[in-house]
Amino acid sequence: MKAFILDVFEAAKIAGRALRSNKIRSFLATLGIVIGVMTVVLMITIIAGLNMSFQRQLAAIGSGTLYVDRYPWIFDDDFFSYRNRPRISMKEYLAISRYCTKAKAVTPYSDTMRPVGFKSEVLSGVYIVGTTDAYLETSDVMPEVGRFISATDANANRDVVVIGTTVAEKLFKERNPIGQMVRISGHEFRVIGVLEKQGTMFGQSLDSQAIIPLGSLMKYFGRHRDVTIIVKAADPKQLDELKDELTGVLRRVRKLGPADKDNFAINEQGQLMSMYTQLTSGVYSAGIIIGGISLLVGGIGIMNIMLVSVTERTQEIGIRKALGAKKSQIMRQFLIESALICLIGGTIGVGLAWGGGKIINQWLPAVMPISVAIASTMFAALVGIFFGIFPAAKAARLDPIVALRKE
Amino acid sequence: MGRKMAEDGILIKFVNVEKTYQIGEIEVPALRAINLIIHKGEYVAIMGPSGSGKSTMMNLIGCLDTVSTGEYWLAGENVSELTDNELAHIRNRRIGFVFQTFNLLPRANAFRNVELPLIYAGVGPGIRKERAIEALKNVGLGDRINHKPAELSGGQRQRVAIARALINNPSLILADEPTGNLDSATGEEILQIFDKLHSAGNTMVVVTHEESVAGRAARVIRLFDGQVVSDTYNHVHAQTTME
Ligand SMILES: Nc1ncnc2c1ncn2[C@@H]1O[C@H](COP(=O)(O)OP(=O)(O)O)[C@@H](O)[C@H]1O
Ligand SMILES: [Mg+2]
Overall average pLDDT of the B69-87 stretch: 94
Q: Do B88 and A325 touch (CB under 8 A)?
A: yes
- pLDDT digit string, tens, across residues A30-51: 888 898 899 888 888 888 888 8
Overall average pLDDT of the A136-145 stretch: 87
Angle among Cα A167, A169, A172 to the nearest 5 degrees reads 95
- Residue B56 sits in a domain whose CATH number is 3.40.50.300
On whether residue B134 sits in a domain, the answer given is: yes
Report yes or no on whether pTM surpasses 0.90: no
Q: Residue A68: CB partners within 8 Å, gap ≥ 6?
A: A88, A92, A96, A228, A229, A230, A231, A246, A250, A264, A265, A266, A267
On whether residue B50 sits in a domain, the answer given is: yes
Q: How far is the CA of A392 from the centre of ligand 2 (A)?
A: 29
Helix (H, G, I), strand (E, B) or coil at B193: helix
> Chain A partners of B119 at a C-beta cutoff of 8 Å?
10
Q: Do A327 and B85 touch (CB under 8 A)?
A: yes
Q: Show me where the domains of chain A are located.
A: 2-57+274-405, 86-263
Q: Do B64 and A325 touch (CB under 8 A)?
A: no
Instruction: Give the residue, by CA position, lying nearest to ligand 1 atom 4.
Output: B21
Element (H, E) at A372: helix A370-397
- pLDDT digit string, tens, across residues A321-352: 999 999 999 999 899 989 988 999 999 999 99
Give chain A's mean pLDDT.
88
Q: In angstroms, what separates the C-alpha of A313 from chain B's closest C-alpha?
A: 10
- pLDDT digit string, tens, across residues A310-320: 998 899 999 99
On whether residue B157 sits in a domain, the answer given is: yes
Overall average pLDDT of the A139-146 stretch: 87
Ligand 1 atom nearest the C-alpha of B54 is 22
Across chain B, which distance is largest between two alpha carbons, in Å?
A: 52
Query: How confident is the model at residue B210, as a pLDDT?
Result: 87
CA B160 to chain centre: 15
Query: Strands of B227-233's sheet, edge to edge?
Result: B95-98, B172-176, B203-207, B43-47, B219-224, B227-233
Instruction: Give the residue, by CA position, lying nearest to ligand 1 atom 14.
Output: B53
Q: In angstroms, what separates the C-alpha of B128 from chain A's closest C-alpha?
A: 12
On whether residue B36 sits in a domain, the answer given is: no
> Chain B partners of A326 at a C-beta cutoff of 8 Å?
84-85, 88-89, 120
From the list A6, A324, A407, which residue is nearest B88 (CB)?
A324
Which ipTM was obtained for this model? 0.91
**B176: domain range?**
41-66+82-233
Query: How confident is the model at residue A9, as a pLDDT?
Result: 80
Pocket test for ligand 1, best of A399, A404, A405 (most atoms within 8 A of CB): A405
Q: In angstroms, what separates the C-alpha of B89 from chain A's closest C-alpha?
A: 6
Query: How confident is the model at residue B242, as a pLDDT?
Result: 42
- How many domains, in total, are found in chain B? 1
- pLDDT digit string, tens, across residues B146-192: 999 999 999 999 999 999 999 999 989 999 999 988 888 889 988 99
From the list A3, A324, A399, which residue is nearest B91 (CB)?
A324
Q: How far apart are the C-alpha atoms of A20 and A346, rounded to whole Å?
A: 17
DSSP state of A321: H
